Structure 1
Amino acid sequence: MTETATTIPHAPGATLSDPRVVRAIELLWHEADLLDRKEYQAWNELYAEDGIYVIPLDATTEDFDDQLNMVYDDARMRAMRVARLTEGYAIAAVDSARTVRTVSRFVPVETTDGSVSLRAAQVLIAYKRGRHQLWAGDVEFTVRFGADRSEDRIVRKVIRLVDSEEAVPAAGFLL
């Protein structure tokens, strides 16, 4: 059986009260807030230079290089995406949706002194032109700690949409 995001056990001994886990969750809540406020440059700065942001179409894959993905951004692609969303040349940026997201149901997967990996659930409501869209998925995060909180960085964010194998509407925003 292929191991999927839902079959990965939680980190032995790690709890949501572990200060490292709390620190990672606070960074991820900050990320969600920046995205809802469309502060894309500040959002991008939360990522490590080697960080990836992935939305695979196959919700069970771990092989992002050889599979079709809705999004597979490294530092260069994130910078290009942020430029499109902020420079006003893309129609999606000019008439972008207002969003409200909730990131919750955190489960520690791996905890070390230098990083924390978590699974979470995300629900995003996007509102544009009198219509609401719902986006929901399981999210995997890895946060690498710096010398202090201001240096903490996201090194991996994988969003496995619950309806990823269906026709996915265009998103003029980041999930």
Structure 2
Amino acid sequence: MVQVKLQVNGQQVEREVEDRTLLVEFLRRELGMTGTHVGCDTTQCGACTVNLDGAAVKSCTVLAAQASGGSVRTVEGMERDGWLHAVQEAFVQCHGLQCGFCTPGMIMAIDYFLREKPASLDDEAIHTALEGNICRCTGYVNIIASVRHAARALYPELEVQP
């Protein structure tokens, strides 16, 4: 057993867990953060993506003990005062989801990409940002439109393709 201390969505949490507990398991089982999905357990799909110390990581590849002392933000922690984050709102407005299973991971990956304030928001840059996040329902057209919509909302000064 190992003590894990994390800040999760702005709240300090501490739990004793088995040393082999993955961060995704910690979030889901210990904290009830079920927005972080387990899709493949092999880092292929990206459904478990969260922000750890500001970077997008696949939480099925990180032990909770490795993340101890860090700060995690999940899809549940994005909204503020009852309002969706611009990336979440963009996925709603542009229909960037179908079944919704991959959506939390996509949102977290795009949140990281857009926080890094990319120099380019062309198709290649967006595709690169989404590498490792798989949607089995869509052709990605609406997901890419969602990224552009969120970018326009967050950075009105940037030139963003329609």
TM range (shorter): under 0.3
Q: TM-score, with normalisation over the residues of structure 1? A: 0.22
Q: TM-score, with normalisation over the residues of structure 2? A: 0.23
